[in-house]
Structure 1
Amino acid sequence: MGTTDAGGVITLTDEDLDPLVTHAETRRLLTGRGLPSGSPVLAFGALRERPALRRVAELVDDAEKLAEELRDQLVIGALRTFDRDLESLVLNGATGEVFTTYVHPRNPGLMDLSPLAPSLEALLRFAAATDELTASRGRFAPPEYGPKAVAAASERLTSVFAAGAEEDLAPYWRMAALIRPLARIARPGTGLALDLPPRLLDEEFGPAALVRFEDVDFPGTLTHEPTRRFLSEVGLPENGYWYELDTDVPLPTLAEYYADQDEFTTDDLPEEADRLIRLGYLLEDTSLVIDGATGAILCWSEPDAILRPLNADISTLAFTVWLVHREKALDEAHDLTDAYEQLAATMAETLAAVDPIACDPTPRTPQDDGRRYWPEAFEDQAGGGLYA
């Protein structure tokens, strides 16, 4: 009796399932093939607890405030993003359908159900295909790059999902098919992390929106040649919604920028302020800077007096701005922001696949507290950054 976890697979016994799970196909999967103990998308750790299956009504303070359709749903795990669990996975023991919900123990009246998959088997198949795309294996190996590769990967993923969806595709998988393949737009580069397709930014933003710099704009401390070439030959959008370039004067170092400002002294700035070049700002009090020697992209927060990683380099910053712009166009066509939290997680996952530094909380500078600008910006629904 009880759950077993052998070889990374969790299985349940008939006694574990009685009387909560009556759906025959679901019972066969849980007692036979089982569920993976974990994956980048799904986590089933809840099934290791005793009892293995618990009704949503057992997890809240006042079950009478729950919608009736929620009370007997069974919590089996969680939908995951790269750094944490998101929504709870819940199973309808009578039909085998899988939903997501946010469990609010003290405010059960706020809970509702969102469809995820018509069955556990479909859920596992959808997650496996998504994992294969991210890892460039299975049906998505070897990896291909460029606009045609993005379209092909999106179509292939959509076909996997459509084959197992009896009705409309759940928002989570729809955005996975539309957003995650965007990580294939650029092949790995030499000198910079990415080799962006020619005219990618021009076609996305329009040539008039791009700023290309000249040698006279660069301070002598910008010695990283691939970054200099990118800024002069490719350029960046002047306004990327969550950032804006300073184009009125030659690019100053961070030390030069603050030289005439009373609120900051040399002691308040990072030690490397003389080689950090200010490109512009992310927020009113957060500077976008380049390490002139390495090409790393960082952000300097005035209120926190902390220098944090932002992107691996100028090519992945450009990819990030392009990704956000693409998402807005997709949201306008497909209403992706109707499931905002899932969309924010999908955006972070897509960025992390291309530029782990942008999302990895591992400290990389003195006083780095692990906060990362892009994931937080994506998640800020009140700020509305992902809305079309």
Structure 2
Amino acid sequence: MSTTDAGVPAITLTEAELGRHIAHAPTRGLLAGPGLPAETDLLTFSPLRAHGLRTLGDATDGPFHLAEELRDRLVIGELLNPGGMERESILLDGDTGELTTAYLAGPGAPRPFAPSLATLLRFAAVTEELAGLRGRFASLAGTYGPRTVTEASRRLLALFAKGTDGRVPPYWKAAALIRPLALVAGPGTTSGLTLDVPARLLDQEFGHGRVARFEEVDFPATLTHEPTRRFLRETGLPEEAAVLHADTDAPLPTLTEYFSAEHCDDHLLDALPAHAGHLIRLGHLAEDDSLVVDGRTGAVLTLSGPGATLHPLNTDVSTLAFTLWLLHHERTIDGHLSNELSTQAYDHLAAAMIHTLTAVDPAATLPDTAWHYWTQLLQDGAGGEL
């Protein structure tokens, strides 16, 4: 095995290494010639460099009962799942060149991934073009909103459909449906926040009258971050969304005010963060975690009870609104496609959701973020629908 440095390091195999493992001529030609990139944005072939060609039977070392037709599948790579999710292995059928995926820990039925290595590399390349708004997506650069999302998704699905007889594998279908959603809101050049959320986006998604907009009398004096105040006045937040329940029945309280009203125990109140008077409670999440915004910076955090640690949730209220929109919109994607993904490959859908969230709002990836609510929510849902 050798690697070459021509822009992206390539992993190649000699004819002797290919040996009897791979009979499919186009696959042999690609592996012996141009080779495979060690890593793309979505997947890595580094296991091939580390271990050479090995069968699924060898990789699992015999502790699992494998169907006979799976034992000789070759383990050549892994999906780069985000947020600490278990990595799924990429398997190659040496006779047909077809690619599937399966988890090495207790592998079940393999899932279709691509009809060939050449097609797989094309799928990965066009997905990266979307992320960078270049190549076949360059004309969308600088445009945002639902129409841009629809067009980007249409283009990506069409590119994936080529070479698959229109049967796009679930992993790539999830990518085409979810990743373009990052284009629904543009950079916050006007709002002073991370995103400029389109004016009617939340109303269109959650329904007229179901988005709470606040007035100046609703804000405590310690909410001094003007872009946050303006966003809550003009754009607002959904009253009920995914796991969020917004506080709309009374003026927004600081954490000190809220827990003073809810708890008479001085010990519990003493356990509040030192700057609790600057943390404004916007509502609560499903597990009764308080959703708060720092009135000085606009950062959005969670707090579980008065004595718990604050955890970063979103960079600001604009990315909070995007997250709530994304979680809700995932449920409204075309029913046939959504049901197929939910039942066959929800982990692929969850990975695409986490990729999209972190691309728009890197709060989950900051060095001091040991635990992140949205990431955990999606990981927990990877066994079924949210």
Q: Same fold (TM over 0.5)?
A: yes
What amino acid is aligned across from residue 172 of structure 1 in structure 2? Y
Correspondence for 2:325: 322
Deviation at 1:301, TM superposition (A): 2.4
Q: Which moved more, 1:141-150 or 1:260-269?
A: 260-269
Which of residues 360, 365, 370 is equivalent to 1:360? 365
- 1:66-77 → structure 2 map (5 Å cutoff): 66-77=66-77
Correspondence for 2:308: 305
Q: Which moved more, 1:53-62 or 1:220-229?
A: 53-62
Alpha-carbon separation, structure 2, partners of 1:264 and 1:24: 73
Deviation at 1:86, TM superposition (A): 2.3
Correspondence for 2:33: 32
Alpha-carbon separation, structure 2, partners of 1:378 and 1:4: 37
Deviation at 1:198, TM superposition (A): 2.1
For residues 30-62 of structure 1, the C-alpha deviation after alignment (integer angstroms, 9 at most, x for no partner) is 111111111110111101124x01100012243
Q: Which moved more, 1:261-270 or 1:37-46?
A: 261-270
SS in structure 2 of the partner of residue 81 of structure 1: coil
Identity %: 52
* 8 Å Cα contact 2:225-2:295 kept in structure 1: yes
What amino acid is aligned across from residue 319 of structure 2 in structure 1? T
* 8 Å Cα contact 2:101-2:111 kept in structure 1: yes
* 8 Å Cα contact 1:10-1:37 kept in structure 2: yes
1:136 aligned to 2:142?
A: no
What amino acid is aligned across from residue 330 of structure 2 in structure 1? E
Which of residues 309, 333, 342 is equivalent to 1:337? 342
Change (3 A) 1:304 1:258: closer
Correspondence for 1:283: 286
Give 5+ residue unaligned stretches, structure 1.
none
Give 5+ residue unaligned stretches, structure 2.
none
SS in structure 2 of the partner of residue 288 of structure 1: strand
Deviation at 1:343, TM superposition (A): 0.7
- 1:237-316 → structure 2 map (5 Å cutoff): 237-260=238-261, 261=263, 262=265, 265-302=268-305, 305-316=308-319
For residues 126-163 of structure 1, the C-alpha deviation after alignment (integer angstroms, 9 at most, x for no partner) is 01111121222322223421122111111111121011
Correspondence for 2:80: 80
For residues 183-203 of structure 1, the C-alpha deviation after alignment (integer angstroms, 9 at most, x for no partner) is 111111130111112211111
Change (3 A) 1:331 1:267: farther
Please, what is the CA RMSD of the aligned residues?
2.0
* 8 Å Cα contact 1:298-1:311 kept in structure 2: yes
Correspondence for 2:162: 163
Change (3 A) 1:6 1:383: closer
* 8 Å Cα contact 2:271-2:307 kept in structure 1: no
* 8 Å Cα contact 1:378-1:385 kept in structure 2: no
* 8 Å Cα contact 1:180-1:346 kept in structure 2: yes
Correspondence for 2:201: 200
* 8 Å Cα contact 1:3-1:10 kept in structure 2: yes
Change (3 A) 1:143 1:159: farther
Deviation at 1:215, TM superposition (A): 1.1
What amino acid is aligned across from residue 60 of structure 1 in structure 2? T
- Runs of 4 or more, structure 1, over 4 Å off, are 382-385
Equivalent pairs counted in the alignment come to: 374
Change (3 A) 1:64 1:147: closer
SS in structure 2 of the partner of residue 208 of structure 1: coil
1:57 aligned to 2:82?
A: no
Correspondence for 1:119: 116
What amino acid is aligned across from residue 44 of structure 1 in structure 2? F
For residues 68-107 of structure 1, the C-alpha deviation after alignment (integer angstroms, 9 at most, x for no partner) is 2211100001011344562101100110011100112xx4
TM-score by length of 2: 0.92
Correspondence for 1:346: 352
Alpha-carbon separation, structure 1, partners of 2:384 and 2:64: 34
Deviation at 1:385, TM superposition (A): 5.3
Change (3 A) 1:72 1:382: closer
Deviation at 1:4, TM superposition (A): 2.5
For residues 329-388 of structure 1, the C-alpha deviation after alignment (integer angstroms, 9 at most, x for no partner) is 11633112121111110001111111111x21521xxxx5x11111111122289553xx
Deviation at 1:14, TM superposition (A): 1.0
Correspondence for 1:222: 223
* 8 Å Cα contact 1:275-1:293 kept in structure 2: yes
SS in structure 2 of the partner of residue 350 of structure 1: helix
Change (3 A) 1:292 1:385: farther
SS in structure 2 of the partner of residue 48 of structure 1: helix
